[in-house]
Amino acid sequence: MIIRILGWADVDIDALRTALDQRARGRSLPQALYASPAVFEAELEGVFAREWLFACNACEIRSPGDYLTLDIGRDSVMVVRGHDLEIRAFHNTCRHRGSRICLAERGNARRLVCPYHQWTYELDGRLFRARQMPPDFDAAEHGLRPVHVEVIGGLVLVSIAAEPPSLRKFRAAVSPYITPHAPQKTKIAHVSELVEQANWKLVIENNRECYHCAGTHPELMATLVDFALPADAASDPAHQALMQTSATRWQAASLPYLPADGGTEFRCIRLPFKDGRVSFTPDGSPACRRLLGGFSEPDQGSVRMFRVPNSWHHFLSDHIIHCRVMPQDAASTVLRTTWLVHEDAVEGVDYGVENLTAVWKATNEQDRRLAENNQRGVLSRAYVPGPYNPSEFMLTDFNDWYIEKMNAAYPPPSVAAALSR
């Protein structure tokens, strides 16, 4: 079955349907889903053009006229702070001849001016001025085309869907975890972009398990408790005691810590660091002396949050890390990592960038290599989806979600027939 994407890219989804049907729960995905350019095109439409995507922390566009651009496949989106301080998002294509308007990843502008012929848009998207157009030109019909945007606890999400799904459940569930860290009162300490020569789902899968951590991430494991195997942890009295102590303290401080019920859509939990460690630094000591929110002492463990399809986050007492995954093509993906500290923290006094970023820079680079080797290996004709380890249960969650979304976007012929009746 041929489907046409964007009006001109013809995609044969028979192989996609075959692969979706072949998926075996509890195993890695069939090869076509990692390898096929046609499947990738179908995902851009069926997932990335339908879902909410994490874009940035709102503090990245703090002031009126601040903007950030984001590539979603071939689409570019501008996220803009208005003069009224509202955050809006628009497609980054001029209504004249289609040029991109904002060219930088971040910037500030009083109005959004197309670099080609200076068509000028208000920060709320209205066309302010188009030079020398004839009298019958209707500026009101040529405003920027809007993109949905929501801000949840300082996190900016966008959707290019016509009718994006509800964020109500996500907002309600995660806000209590995030709010104490006051993400809206942060500033960027560092941004890194890493291109991984791997399918975006392999990048996500890599993040969704710590089965690989012990063998790969010495810097990370200096502070992280790998709780992925609760049975093992349960049998460790020291860890049991740490969990109990932490829980008691967090309850007293009214900090939620038990896993939120996010189904396959999101995951949110507060977990302690290794005993005596409080932050993702090489030695586990705080990365920033100025603590976030109302925290008066640094030992708060960390809130770990993941949301399909494209981000995971760490909220600590002293800093926040956002990791954003955007696919480029079937075999390459961009990971953008932002490290944020209190907006009043002073570099060189309260924190140092190298100490703040050392652990996750090393970890991301290690993960890049793993994901790239994974990508190259799954292309083999001898590849067969293998069984997940019990600690890889979150990959099954992710795959469940992915298969459900793709089945909804590209229903099996029998379902499609029923739907069209």
Kindly identify the residues of this chain, within the stretch 19-38, that bind its own copies according to CB under 8 A: 19, 28, 30-32, 35-36, 38
Name the residue nearer to its own copies (CB basis): 23 or 322: 23
Site for its own copies in 295-334 (CB under 8 A): none
* From 59-67, 81-89, 167-175, 385-393, span contacting its own copies (CB under 8 A): 385-393
Strand locations in 144-185, DSSP E?
A: 146-152, 155-159
Nearest distance in Å: CB 414, its own copies: 21
Nearest distance in Å: CB 119, its own copies: 9
Name the residue nearer to its own copies (CB basis): 130 or 242: 130
Closest CA to 40 of 19, 16, 23: 16
Closest CA to 171 of 52, 276, 325: 52
Closest CA to 410 of 26, 25, 32: 32
Name the residue nearer to its own copies (CB basis): 61 or 130: 130
Of 215, 259, 276, 412, the one binding its own copies (CB under 8 A) is 215
Mention every residue, 6+ apart, whose C-beta is less than 8 A from residue 102: 67, 69, 76, 78, 92, 109, 112
CA 19 remoteness from chain centre: 25
Nearest distance in Å: CB 384, its own copies: 7
Name the residue nearer to its own copies (CB basis): 88 or 342: 88
Site for its own copies in 70-129 (CB under 8 A): 74-76, 91-101, 103, 115-118
CA distances to 64, 85, 116, 127, 178 from 182, in Å: 20, 18, 40, 35, 7
> Is residue 244 classed as helix, strand or coil in its secondary structure?
helix
**Structure tokens given for 121:** 């848009």
The site for its own copies, by CB under 8 A, has a size of 75
Binding mask 258-297 for its own copies (x = CB under 8 A): ----------------------------------------
Closest CA to 302 of 285, 284, 314, 290: 314
Assess whether the previous peptide bond of 134 is cis (omega < 30° from 0).
Answer: no
Q: Are 368 and 212 in contact (CB under 8 A)?
A: no
Name the residue nearer to its own copies (CB basis): 94 or 345: 94
Name the residue nearer to its own copies (CB basis): 118 or 240: 118
Site for its own copies in 39-58 (CB under 8 A): 39, 49
Nearest distance in Å: CB 401, its own copies: 18
Of 187, 212, 249, 289, the one binding its own copies (CB under 8 A) is 212
Q: What is the CB-side half-sphere exposure of residue 160 using CA atoms within 13 A?
A: 21
CA-CA distance, 27 to 298, in Å (whole number)?
39
Of 25, 131, 168, 421, the one binding its own copies (CB under 8 A) is 131
Site for its own copies in 149-208 (CB under 8 A): 160, 205
Binding mask 363-382 for its own copies (x = CB under 8 A): ------xx--xx-xxxxxxx
Instruction: Locate all alpha helices (DSSP H) within 186-340, ordered by sequence.
Output: 200-207, 213-216, 218-221, 230-234, 237-252
Name the residue nearer to its own copies (CB basis): 90 or 266: 90
